[in-house]
Structures are given as C-alpha cells and as structure tokens.
Copies of this chain bind each other. A is one copy, B any other.
Amino acid sequence: MKPVNLKQLAEELGLSIATVSRALQDSHEVSAATKERVRALAAELHYEPNAYASSLRRNQSKTIGVVIPKVTNHFFALAINGIEEAARQSGYHVLIYLTHDDYEREVAIIQHLKGGRVDGILLSVASGTEDITHLESLREAGIPLVFFDRVRAEIATAKVTTNDYESGRLATAHLLAVGCQRIAHLLISNTLSIGQNRHQGYLDALAAQGHAPDPDLVLPGTTDNARNVQLIEELLRRRPDIDGIFASVERLAVGAYHACHRLGRRIPEDVKVVGFSNLESVSLFDPPLTTITQPAHDIGREAARILLRAVEKKRPVLPTQSVVLASELVPRRSTAVAVSSPL
C-alpha cells in the first residue's frame, strides 16, 4: 500500500499541489476554507509528509546524531534520555551511534554523517581517539558539533561536562570534614580530562587543609576490575593508616567496597568511601556508599539544547564556550536498611 502524497490530495480536492502544501503548513496566504478542506482530507487519508523529500528540498533533516562510546553505561543512558527530551520538544529526531571506544568506528561514523543525514552532532569522544581531523572536518562540512562528557579541548565548539574539578574537591573536602586524615584517590588510568580534573580537585582540597600530597596514596586503576580490587587491597594493607577513599569512577568505588570487605575494614567506621556513581543499585549496597551523582540527564539535555539552538538559527556556528554543570554530592543510603549513613 503506497502512502498518500500531495499529488493525490491535490487531485482529490481539485487544487494544485502547491496550495495543498501551503495549507498543510498553515501558510497565511491560503484561505481558511481551503485549509479546512485540505486538512480534513489529509486526516482522513492519514497523509504523512515524506520526510526525505522534505529534507532534500529544505536541506535540513530535523535529525541530530548522537555518537557515544556505549549505551550500557548508565551515564550515557541518562544522557540520551535528556537528549531525546530536548530533541522531541523541538521536533527533532535522534540517531544513535555507538563507537565502543573504537577510533576507527568513530571516524567511519563521522564520515558517514557528513552525507547530510543529520543537522548536528552530539559527541562524547571514544577513549581510543587521538587524531581528531575527522572532527575538525565537520566544521568545513557545516555540521555543528557539541561535545558532552568526554570532550576535546582542541576543537572550538560548545562543551558540556560534569564539573569534575569541583566534584573532586568537594568529595575530598567532605572526607576531610568528617575527620579523615589519610585519603586515598583511586583514579582511572587513561588520560581523559575528567580523571585529571578530579584529581586536581582532590589535591587542592588536601592543600587547602594543609595536607601534603602523598603519591603513595594515589592509585591508578586498570580496566580489569578483579585486578583493581587486588591493587586496592594491597594499598590498604600497605597503608593501614588510610581512613578515607575517594574513587573517581564507579567501578573503582565498588572495588574499594570489596577490598574493604575482604580485609574486614568496616565502612564507614574504619574507612569512609566516596565515589562517583550513576547507578541506583549502588545506593542499595550495604553499607551504602556515599556517592557523587553526575547530572547526566541535565548534561544531555543541555548539550542538545545548545546544539539545537545553533541548528535552528541556520548554523550560526557555535562559539567556543564551555558549559559546566555542578554535580551533586549525595549521601545515598538504602531507604530500607537501618545503618547509619556514612556521612
């Protein structure tokens, strides 16, 4: 069954295609009566304009592309949620592409997207990406780009990220405030800016209280979770004076949780742990971890809004501006389990 098109509507109504088109767009230069007639028939026949013909003609797809490393990371799932919300409100569609942190794939996706399939791109850089000429080429292709979460400073465009530095500082300051003297920092090993910024926040919070930085307390994690637990365990054994842990990423927070368990160190009595986490379930741990939750939904929505604003205004290219949202320090506790909060 072929879908109905303007031509059919026009013939049926004894009007020209142009008039029908205008009526459907509620143009001011068509009589109310004809508009009504047209709309009635369109509704009756379930007319739906062909998106591609329209896109071809107007040279705009009403679609944005979202390129992320993975969707199974809860942060990105939440971000997509925010993106979809903003897109829908503006009548835009959302194409999803997963890089799986593979550079080659990221390049291929970007190249493909230059075929006009999208009006703009939201991207969180793959961790394996070094060379960024593929991203730079988007500028000359006239496709607006907005980074979120994992950004590349070299590209002059809008970037929306968690306030990593401030989060690291707050988490550490919090641990100091509740009496910790030796605070370890578990960080991700790669060179992503988020790790560095969080670490700087950690260092500055310590310095602000007159604590000298101790490199021995800083543990770079690996991609192997089991190995991480071992490393953390070793650290805790080597340094029994550690009474606070700040974990830069979720899986390290969980690793710290287990390492403490295995060593019989109680949380929060013996060791207080604060970690980044976006997973609800982590709050159900017993004892619960004190977590820093990234405003993932807001980040996604904000990034999408910035992008859409540029797209709508017919590509007035995006100014180099970095938008940073504060993250919230949340003392998560299971609502059901009667334990004292670690805070």
Contacts and interface: CB of A to CB of B under 8 A. Distances in A.
Contacts of A93: 95, 117
Given A71-B77, A80-B71, A81-B70, A95 B98 contact: no
A117 B115 CA distance: 16
A72 interface: yes
Interface string A310-343: 0000000000000000000000001111100000
A141 B1 contact: yes
A337 B262 contact: yes
A114 B338 contact: no
Contacts of A140: 1
A80 to B, nearest CB: 5
A77 B72 CA distance: 5
Interface residues of A, number: 62
B336 A258 contact: yes
Given A81-B98, A226-B336, A115 B72 contact: no
Contacts of A286: 257-258, 261
9 contacts: A3-B141, A46-B114, A46-B141, A56-B56, A71-B84, A72-B78, A94-B95, A229-B335, A281-B281
Given A52-B55, A96-B96, A226-B335, 18 more contacts: A3-B116, A46-B111, A46-B137, A46-B141, A48-B115, A71-B77, A71-B81, A71-B84, A74-B74, A77-B77, A94-B97, A95-B95, A95-B96, A229-B335, A254-B284, A257-B284, A258-B286, A262-B338
